[in-house]
Chain A
Amino acid sequence: MADKVLMKGNEAIAEAAILAGCRHYFGYPITPQTEIAAYMAKRMPKIGGVFLQAESEISAINMVYGVAGAGFRVMTSSSSPGVSLKQEGISYIAGADLPALIVNVQRGGPGLGGIQPSQSDYFQATKGGGHGDYRLIVLAPSSVQEMADMTAKAFELAEKYRMPAMLLADGTMGQMMEPVELPEPSESKVEKPWAVTGTKKERKHNIINSLYLNPEELERTNFERYERYKTIEENEVLYESYKMEDAEYCVVAFGIAARVSKNAVNAARARGLKVGMIRPITLWPFPKDVLAKAAEQVKGFLSVELSMGQMIEDLRLATACRRPVHLCNRAGGMIPSPEEVLDALNKLKGECEA
């Protein structure tokens, strides 16, 4: 057995970021993600990195913008209310085509909400929480191991496509400990001729900018960006398919909801109900094609979410409403139990067979 250590999800993110060559972290304390900042505060000074507790989430994301502009791997992390504050900066980072990692360990909302786990920032993460036409690559880990692996992946994708990436976790994923095998150290392999590292008077100045007063020019940047997004949708979709081979019903869930749903899938199968699960790992790009294909196979879908039902909209779009799509949800920091998911599956079956 490889040398596995027990780590909290939050700590796994922090260590994985360091292993991915991230030496710049800016953040502001907020439950339930503060372990990331605390971990960085402890480790960064010892490895020549930068940890800085910013005066606000707004400042933190703008510090990230500065470092990203200089071409270094950089990240910030927060939880829901703090991520709302970061939206301005995220829009600028997207508009200036900069790679950066933003971690959201979600808690219940809206407003100050609560501190218990939630997935109610799905819209904010996948539909562009800030102003303007832009996307984030959104990765939704479902285990502490994936928290580590997806952190490295997020840096890689962000650089490959010159755009911000978000790791969308929740309070449970951040706080829970599981065995984790940390990824091998990696570093940026992407050339960054656009970075503002000083001209050395050897080249024309680089400008990191999202301002285009000429609408034709601004439109062109938008179309170019969306061409890139199309490539991502074609090439970077990640999902897990669980017991789908003979499934008649399909649960769709990500993150902690998928963990709970896995128990429900197994419980349903023990009762003779053929259920499978498709777990989106990238929430954007959303695994549209695999869900469309599943719609040809199954009788109905169940979206399991820690929100009032956000991903379900993408599920309905992906399946073009060809099969019934039900919602099994808890909100405000509550988590559905496997029994609740099982009940919802039975109801779905009842409707599909009626």
Chain B
Amino acid sequence: MTVFEKPKALTDKPFHYCPGCTHGIIHRLVAEAIDELDIEGRTVGVAPVGCAVMAYDYFACDMVEAAHGRAPAVATGLKRCMPDHIIFTYQGDGDLASIGMAETVHAATRNENITIIFVNNAIYGMTGGQMAPTSLPGQVTQTSPYGRDVATVGLPIKVSELLSSLDAPYYVERVAVNNVKNVRNAKKAIKRAFQNQVEGRGFSLVEVVSSCPTNWGKTPEAALQWIDEKMIPYYPLGVYKDRSKEEEQA
């Protein structure tokens, strides 16, 4: 009989996340990848500003709390001074795709050998549900109370597609964590993103389509369904950039 255990790369601190929030699952997947690659002792994680701001309490490796959007720059500093360490950032959509877009794009185009876990739940969670750069057209939030009006605020940013248009980044994949199959795929992608770094391949980003039942105003179950019905059609899952494939073909 397999006993369900907490990954060693997580501390015993209980998560503060809302009921039904998928941050817990994603934290676990990251920790499992760290355990399986046996890299905890040389890993430094960078926490964002957003719901995962206190991720520094949850991961057992050394952690740095970055300013809003700056995690890729902080991670760049850490990686450049400790090239043999494993450096990852854990960022939400406002952090990575709005205020931190410059840091994200430039870390990608430098093919900075870091791992980015990008949690896209189409909303600002920590501040109570405002419109994110990834909020869907028509999506109702505190700052788009009549629904996201694409005529005035534009269309959502598709981060994986955008980054894959760059030549440099090594690996970009979009996954989801709304059902068992998707969680298993997400695990594979996240582990690969860390494995790439261990092998010195370069910039690896996994976009995780995620839910926010509290700010979406849905039950946890309905939120997971909404991912299937609304999020994934707009944000199709799959590998967007894989230079190992490009290298094979070359």
Which residues of A are in contact with B by a Cβ distance under 8 Å? 23-24, 26, 50, 52, 54-56, 58-60, 62-70, 72, 74, 88-89, 92, 96, 196-202, 205-211
Contacts and interface: CB of A to CB of B under 8 A. Distances in A.
B41 A198 contact: yes
Contact of A198 (B44, B57, B59, B75): B44
Given A89-B67, A196-B44, A199-B41, A205 B61 contact: yes
A74 B67 contact: no
A197 B75 CA distance: 13
B54 to A, nearest CB: 8
Given A63-B73, A70-B81, A205 B102 contact: no
A60 B63 CA distance: 20
A292 B105 CA distance: 53
B81 A67 contact: yes
A161 B54 CA distance: 27
Given A72-B81, A207-B56, 19 more contacts: A52-B80, A55-B106, A59-B70, A65-B70, A65-B73, A66-B46, A66-B78, A89-B67, A197-B82, A198-B41, A198-B42, A198-B43, A199-B40, A199-B60, A200-B42, A205-B63, A207-B57, A207-B65, A208-B65
8 contacts: A24-B77, A55-B103, A59-B103, A65-B67, A68-B77, A70-B81, A202-B41, A210-B65
A92 B74 CA distance: 12
B73 A50 contact: no
A75 to B, nearest CB: 12
A199 B62 contact: yes
A197 B44 CA distance: 7
Contacts of B237: none
Contact of A209 (B65, B75, B105): B65
B122 to A, nearest CB: 25
Given A24-B77, A52-B80, A66-B77, A207 B102 contact: no
Contacts of B53: 211
A196 to B, nearest CB: 4
A16 B63 CA distance: 31
Interface residues of B, number: 35
Contacts, number: 131
B78 A70 contact: yes
B63 A196 contact: yes
Interface in B51-94: 53-54, 56-57, 59-67, 70, 73-78, 80-82, 85
B11 interface: yes
Contacts of A56: 102
A72 B41 CA distance: 19
B43 A62 contact: no
A197 B62 contact: yes
A23 B81 CA distance: 9
Interface in B106-139: 106
B70 A58 contact: yes
A131 to B, nearest CB: 11
A83 B78 CA distance: 22
B174 to A, nearest CB: 24
Most buried by A among B77, B80, B103, B105: B77
B66 A62 contact: yes
B64 A66 contact: yes
A88 B40 contact: no
A66 B44 CA distance: 10
A70 B65 CA distance: 13
Contacts of A89: 67, 70
B81 A198 contact: no
Contacts of A199: 40-41, 60-62
A79 B137 CA distance: 42
Interface in B12-65: 40-44, 46, 53-54, 56-57, 59-65
A161 to B, nearest CB: 20
User: What are the 4 closest A-B residue pairs judged by CB atoms, nearest first?
Assistant: A66-B77, A62-B73, A196-B62, A63-B77
Given A56-B102, A74-B81, A63 B74 contact: yes
A59 B65 contact: no
Nearest to B110: A52
A347 to B, nearest CB: 48
B115 to A, nearest CB: 15
A198 B70 CA distance: 21
Nearest to B60: A205
A65 B42 CA distance: 19
Of the candidates A55, A72, A202, the one having the most CB atoms from chain B within 10 angstroms of its own CB is: A55
A200 B61 contact: no
A77 B11 CA distance: 38
A197 B64 CA distance: 11
Given A24-B77, A63-B76, A63-B77, A207 B64 contact: yes
Contacts of B85: 197-198
A65 B76 CA distance: 10
Contacts of B63: 196, 205-209
Contacts of A68: 77
Contact of A62 (B56, B60, B70): B70
Nearest to A58: B70
Given A64-B77, A67-B77, A202-B41, A209 B70 contact: no
